[in-house]
Amino acid sequence: MAEPHDNPPASASSEATEIVTPLGREEILKRLELAARRGRLPGYVPGRNGELFGAEELGHPFDYRLSVHAASVHAAGVDGGTRLTWSMRMLPRMPAIFGAVLALSVWPGVWLTDSMLRAYFSGYDYRTWMWYLPVTVLPIPWMWRGFVRRSRESAARLRAELLDAVRMELHGEKAG
């Protein structure tokens, strides 16, 4: 029996690697811009660096960027539409901020904890750093791994939803 908080099964499009549509690049961009303005393509951003379009803010707590590239499809010398392929990558800004906050907050935490314990317990005469550092630093790799895993799963789920929406907007077919 599935629990209410279990993830629903991934859609079939999450396994597809391409979308083929009978439309050309200009028509694709026109339709997707319109859909984005109407709120049907969250995170949509115009293309850059050779991509057709992209989407950002996929994933939590670390964001991913989805890049979609287009290639013309030719069947027997006749223009057969456009093949869309995509790739995803984690944006480096949030992991860098998390890492800096973790690194810069450990030692001030030692001072704060030590001063608090000495203020409230007059008999406290221990080296706080000897127990504080293992308690705070040792869980970081497991916490980091959890952040990355959760972000990857969230980005994959949002990617599947976004690409389903793109496929529907463009009347495309799953390929690959």
Q: Could you report the per-residue pLDDT of 24-78, keeping only the tens digit for each?
A: 888 888 999 999 899 888 888 888 888 888 888 778 899 998 888 888 877 545 4
pLDDT, averaged across the chain? 83
Q: Quick one: how far is CA 60 from the chain centroid?
A: 6
Q: The domain 12-91+156-175 is classified under which CATH number: 3.90.320, 3.30.310, 3.30.1420, 3.40.50?
A: 3.30.310
The mean per-residue pLDDT over the stretch 70-89 comes to 76
- 165 band by pLDDT with thresholds 50, 70 and 90: confident
How many C-beta atoms surround the C-beta of residue 54 within 10 A? 21
Q: What is the pLDDT of residues 128-146, one digit of tens each?
A: 999 999 999 999 999 999 9
**pLDDT value for 82:** 85
pLDDT score recorded for residue 148: 94
DSSP single-letter state for residue 5: T
Cα(128)–Cα(125) distance, integer angstroms:
9
Chain centroid to CA 151: 5
% of the chain beyond a pLDDT of 70: 84
Residues 6 or more apart in contact with residue 73 via CB below 8 angstroms: 20, 79, 80, 81, 82, 83
Across residues 84-102, what is the average pLDDT? 91
| Domain limits, CATH 3.30.310, in the chain | 12-91+156-175
pLDDT at residue number 96? 95
Report the C-alpha gap between 56 and 150 in whole angstroms.
Answer: 16
pLDDT band at 124 (very low <50, low <70, confident <90, very high): very high
Residue 75: the pLDDT is 57
Q: Quote the pTM value.
A: 0.71
User: Partners of 54 in the beta sheet?
Assistant: 45, 67
